[in-house]
Amino acid sequence: MTRLNFISLLLLIGIANCQVTIEPQNIVVRQDDVTRLMCKTRTPIKSCLWEINGDLYNLSPGSLYEPLGILEDGECGIQARITEAENGVWSCRVFLSGTSRSPAERASANVTVLALPQISLRPMEDTITVIAGETTTIDCMVSNARPVPAIMWMLGDRELDFTNTQTLVEPRTVGDNTKVSITSKLNYAFQAVDHDKSLRCVTTGPWLTMEDPHQASAQLNVIFPPQPKDEMTLYGFVLGQPGDITVNFTANPRPSAVIWKLDGETELAVEPFTGRSSDPRVEVSELRSTNATSYEARLRIKSVSEADARRIFRLVVESSLMNGEAVSQEYMVRLSTSPAPLQSGGVGGGGIAAIVIVLVAVLVVTAVVLYARNTGRWCFAG
């Protein structure tokens, strides 16, 4: 080995021996928590200093900043109760034993003091009104957060796809402390089924707990027209007996007009309700609401006739939406004197198989008994 190679090897060994590490790295802490950082080397330490954001701190037992570790074991640590001032870069400067002319070794770590976000929705209302099928923009404003949280939108218990959102992060610096403001825009076409659900903007991060303020929410008031239905057939009507025709539908807001139509000529108002019927054959009931968006219209036929069984009864529902648009929906109902058909799947494959097995068993037993009786193999009384 040449002299130059030998010197190079000594330098590499010296660098390896003098390397300073700091733990933990890049931590998030809460104000008033006690935090500990430790610098370590492979050789004994003569002395060390600690800096926070470039400011030198004196360490002494019982003070706000206490020393930790044993210098002879290559340890130089610090313990501090966290305030806003401790947010930033913590560095240790280590002077090793037996190296009077060598520069100090240094290691640094980022310490982020948690700043809980302030969260609000725009529009700032407990209930947000939207129109079904139309794209609505809702803003989630997150301010004075540190570190930067992730944001997700929840509709009821379902997370909305991130493709419906746009997020803008704006750093805000006050002195040496950087906090962020975030605006997340949700562009979404809500549907009738979303009515009365909770819309939430939720901030997430491993440093947040459920006890922290981490979300803003609003109830949805979804405006939607009367929802369509296929033509209905009602069964079990008896000729000459009274019978009720009932149609259930959903709409928001309450319909402005509900009308029964018979024969394409007779019109009977349900909403607004007058309590009178221009047709003596029928009675009209007042529109009944079963909840905020569900309604029931009922028409009583005093005596069901064969003509009624051939007739199509129509219920026309009209609503006015937020934008002033008037919409209507027609529901068609037929009557039948037949009993209601069995629901498909009422008897499963297992039930059918059991019935077949029982029938086969009965037939077999009957055949055996008849054969035994006719051949005199068994004795039968009488």
Q: Is 319 a domain residue?
A: yes
The number of distinct structural domains making up the chain is 3
Give the pLDDT band of residue 268 (cuts 50, 70, 90).
confident
Q: Is 4 a domain residue?
A: no
Q: Is 154 a domain residue?
A: yes
Give the pLDDT confidence of 362-375 residue by residue, as tens digits.
776 676 666 666 66
Does residue 150 surpass a pLDDT of 70? yes
Q: Is 97 a domain residue?
A: yes
Q: Is 308 a domain residue?
A: yes
Q: Tell me, what CATH number does 300's domain have?
A: 2.60.40.10
Give the pLDDT confidence of 62-72 residue by residue, as tens digits.
888 999 999 99
Considering only 136-145, 210-219, 316-325, 359-368, which range has the smallest mean pLDDT? Answer: 359-368
Q: Kindly state whether residues 265 and 298 are assigned to the same domain.
A: yes
Does residue 12 surpass a pLDDT of 70? no
Answer with the one of 335, 352, 373 that is the final residue of a domain: 335
Q: Kindly state whether residues 179 and 266 are assigned to the same domain.
A: no
Q: Is 326 a domain residue?
A: yes
Q: Kindly state whether residues 66 and 97 are assigned to the same domain.
A: yes
Q: Which residues span the domain enclosing 124?
A: 118-215
Does residue 157 surpass a pLDDT of 90? yes
Q: What is the 3-state secondary structure (H, E, C) of the chain?
A: CCHHHHHHHHHHHHHHHHCCEEECCCEEECCCCEEEEEEECCCCEEEEEEEECCEEECCCCCCCEEEECCHHHCEEEEEEECCHHHCEEEEEEEEECCCCCCCCEEEEEEEEECECCEEEEECCCCEEEEECCCEEEEEEEEEEEECCCEEEEEECCEECCHHHEEEEEEEEEECCEEEEEEEEEEEEECCHHHCCCEEEEEEECCCCCCCCCCEEEEEEEEEECCCCCCCEEECCCCCCCCEEEEEEEECECCCCEEEEEECCCEEEEEECCCCCCCCCCEEECCCEECCCCEEEEEEEECCCCHHHHHCEEEEEEEEECCCCCEEEEEEEEEECCCCCCCCCCCCCHHHHHHHHHHHHHHHHHHHHHHHHHHHCCCCCCC
Answer with the one of 182, 215, 248 that is the final residue of a domain: 215
